[in-house]
Amino acid sequence: MPLKRPLLLAISLLCPLAAVAKDTLPPTLPTQPDSRLMEVATSAHIWNGAAVTADGRTFVSLTQSEGPGMSLAEVGKDGQLHPYPDARWNTWNVAEPGQHFLHVNALRVGPDGKLWAVDAGNTGINTGAHAVQGAGKLVRIDLATNQVDKVYSLEGAVQKDNSYFDDVRFHGRLAYLTDPGAVRLVVLDLDSGKARTLLENHPLSIDHLPMYADGNKLFIPNGEEKRVGLDQLEVSPDGEYLYYQAIPGPLARIATRYVDDPALPPAQVAEHAEHWLDTWSTGGTAIDAAGNIYASDVNTRSVKRIAPDKTVTTVVADPRLVWVDALWIQDGYLYLPAAQINRTPATTGGKPSTVQYPVHLYKIRIDAKPSPLDHA
């Protein structure tokens, strides 16, 4: 039975107390490299996500805090970053916001085998930056032709002044996107192009807790605590549940039958959201075909596996895994971009960057397949 709103609020306010105590304790950071960790690629620029195709092509999304003028790139056979699908798309043009990337925050190869990129439509979450009308979008790229073949605009009623479209997952002909700027879920119908919003400022969507990495609390440039609401999301392999969380947790879930029904009022949908597991400050997640959720722990430089029965185990802990962001599963490997976001001015209260270049993309064998609903 779903929890009703008063009880939900009480639980969501009480459960994070454990996470507060856990995250504020000085973490035990790993000191010895794990020999199972393999380097895939390096970059002179910060990347926050990677997607690898079945035939071995590697794509990365780049932040703009110290970026090279690229938002989306392919890692070439020469090891260099090449703007993808071309330089024009990676050159911002305010006159054509729907035809140029402003800030790609997420990418993935969808179940259709095409590359999908989320343009946040904004350059920062809760930093005082404003959304650029028309810039928020979901872009589909045909990997066979290397051409954009569809753009889903998220402007109008969907995009608010503080919107920052963050990540995407698929369920049939629907795309779920998070908007931690406005703290809500966006449900996009891929056939009609129409979008609606749910779970806005819900007790399980908002950021009750500050964020920690390497034992340090994070701050935005104006000195306020870094707070990020509804951010990560995954769909269970059977398609029955959508899991989601603010960066510091907790992990919540809701049955997709409620999310997918456009006839249900948002308030009625919200009644079915449930607290599922207390988690930790997380940079990124992935889910495998068995329903295991992999979630990085940026406070302990590790990645943890959350089994369907809620058992939590550590997959890898390594001193090189500084802020592992969006994870990816392909060919039995888990890909881990070590983004070092916690060393940038965006999270250190505006202090000069201490990022140690090059940044790295690693992988580790987990002998697991990606969820069939997740990507090709």
Question: What pLDDT score was predicted for residue 26?
Answer: 66
Question: What pLDDT score was predicted for residue 6?
Answer: 40
Dump pLDDT digits (tens) for 302-334.
999 999 999 999 999 999 999 999 999 999 999
Residues 6+ apart with CB under 8 A from 278: 15, 16, 18, 19, 249, 250, 251
**Cβ-count burial of 67 within 10 angstroms (0-12 exposed, 13-18 middle, 19+ buried)?**
middle
**Cβ-count burial of 9 within 10 angstroms (0-12 exposed, 13-18 middle, 19+ buried)?**
middle
Nearest Cα residue to 276 out of 2, 64, 32, 91: 2
Question: What pLDDT score was predicted for residue 128?
Answer: 78
Mean pLDDT by 10 residues, the chain (376 residues): 42 42 70 97 94 96 71 94 96 94 95 96 86 95 98 88 95 97 96 96 94 94 92 97 97 98 98 98 97 98 98 98 97 97 92 95 97 80
CA dihedral 343, 347, 351, 353 (to 10 degrees): 30
Question: What pLDDT score was predicted for residue 68?
Answer: 56
Domains defined for the chain, CATH in brackets? 5-365 (2.120.10.30)
Question: What pLDDT score was predicted for residue 64?
Answer: 64
Nearest Cα residue to 173 out of 141, 195, 198: 195
Q: Whole-prediction pTM value?
A: 0.92
How does DSSP assign 321-334, residue by residue? -SSB-B-EEETTEE
Dump pLDDT digits (tens) for 5-61.
444 444 444 444 444 445 666 688 999 999 999 999 999 999 999 999 999 999 999
Question: What pLDDT score was predicted for residue 20?
Answer: 44
Measured between alpha carbons, how far is 203 from 13 in angstroms, rounded to an integer? Answer: 8
